Chains A and B, each alone.
Chain A
């Protein structure tokens, strides 16, 4: 039979192409929960990645420190000014908090709803970033034993960074928001609003890789969103908790069909230098 086919190597090549296309097609589009061999491999590799990454981040941090000495003085001035503003705001905040707790008690909120607004932040270190431009995945060093579950939201100090997808015992994969697209069944769109204008509404469903901007669509035509506004998550989609800052509006224009508007958002988080992130746990929501 091999004489008929002619070249054994060609046959093997064809067979392997068929097998790989099948594997790719079968495993595409489903974020499955990991089975135990996968978890074992991921845990061993994440241990080693954590050891190697610590000195590398330390060295990268040294260079950052040398650069930042030159701006420390200016920063100091700005920080003193901001501190004075914070002191004034704290006084106002205390008064508002007292009033809020009185009103809440008066309305008999259930315990669940009260817990919904108290987010617990787990700080995690990014131990690996995927080394190619198509899989936007970061591996963090918290896992199932720290209480991380899939679909928890991850943010950096600056803003929203991603969402936990696969969890093993000691590490977890985080899908960054640069992977959001309307062609991909694995990404969850973010329902967003504008900080300070709670009547604004839009859905972030795409990432424009050419310009590095998030695309927010389905904005109503009379929406108060403007260029320069800060976009935060609203909890309307039930996946992303409310109030997490996403980015700044860069432009706004007519949408594809003329019915709604589309805005381009520059994300606050810096995806190429991810080092420390916070995993947000919403107690009582799951």
Chain B
């Protein structure tokens, strides 16, 4: 089971850096940036469907992979963000959720992820100079919409994939 999930996550991680960058439209004349993170969406879906503890470890692992491959300013930013957001998303879920609730939880999780990344880069490392209102309107909101669209497209297939009886769910401790 972990082999299949790791393979799928690796493919999604590669898609992030290659295909999504070519497909997502770049709006000339403005600095709007839509950041896809398909692997984070899959990890959040894992956390929602009951694999909370594994989701944390996958989050840490794939966050660290992203840190390593695209090393820009510091290591550890994305591992912290992926791990924390995966854990928080898992915490919100109490029992089985329906589609709308899951999408809303993912929306909230994405929002907290974007704000966490922005605050780490802006306040802690001080490498990003754009003000919060500009970054919110031009970078965070477009990324949120794009990721929400992607989740809506992939929700049913992922649920079918993760609902197999031979995948062990983690025991829930509240």
A residues sitting closer than 8 Å to B (CB atoms) are 16-17, 20-21, 23-25, 27-29, 38, 41-42, 45, 48-49, 52-53, 56-57, 59-60, 127-137, 139, 166, 173, 175, 179, 181, 183-184, 186, 209-212, 270, 272-273
Contacts and interface: CB of A to CB of B under 8 A. Distances in A.
B72 A179 contact: yes
B154 interface: no
A266 to B, nearest CB: 11
B139 A133 contact: yes
**Interchain residue pairs A-B with the least CB separation, the first 8:** A135-B72, A272-B26, A128-B17, A23-B76, A130-B70, A28-B74, A27-B75, A53-B18
Given A128-B17, A173-B71, A56 B117 contact: no
Contacts of A60: 22-23
A139 B69 contact: yes
Contacts of B80: 16-17, 20, 24
Given A24-B75, A134-B117, A129 B129 contact: no
B74 A24 contact: yes
Interface size class of B (residues with CB under 8 A): 35 or more
A134 B70 contact: no
Contacts of A28: 73-74, 125
A183 to B, nearest CB: 6
A268 B137 CA distance: 25
Given A24-B120, A56-B19, A128-B18, A133 B35 contact: yes
B26 A135 contact: no
B77 A24 contact: yes
Interface of B is mostly: helix
B94 interface: no
B76 to A, nearest CB: 4
A175 B73 CA distance: 10
5 contacts: A28-B73, A42-B69, A128-B21, A166-B71, A183-B127
B57 interface: no
A183 B126 contact: yes
A157 to B, nearest CB: 17
Contact of A181 (B17, B68, B120, B127): B127
Contact of B20 (A49, A131, A211, A273): A131
B33 interface: yes
A28 B75 CA distance: 7
A27 B74 contact: yes
B56 to A, nearest CB: 10
Contacts of B138: 210
B21 A131 contact: yes
B124 A24 contact: yes
Interface of B: 10, 14-23, 26, 30-31, 33, 35-37, 65-66, 68-77, 79-80, 83, 117-118, 120-121, 124-130, 134-135, 138-139
A25 B76 CA distance: 9
A9 B83 CA distance: 14
Contacts of B130: 209-210
Given A45-B65, A49-B14, A134 B22 contact: no
A136 B31 CA distance: 14
Nearest to A173: B71
Contact of A273 (B26, B72, B121): B26
A132 B120 CA distance: 14
A131 B16 contact: yes
Given A24-B125, A53-B18, A184-B127, A135 B73 contact: yes
A96 to B, nearest CB: 38
Contacts of B124: 21, 24
Nearest to A50: B18
B83 A16 contact: yes
B7 to A, nearest CB: 11
B64 to A, nearest CB: 10
B31 A130 contact: no
A170 to B, nearest CB: 13
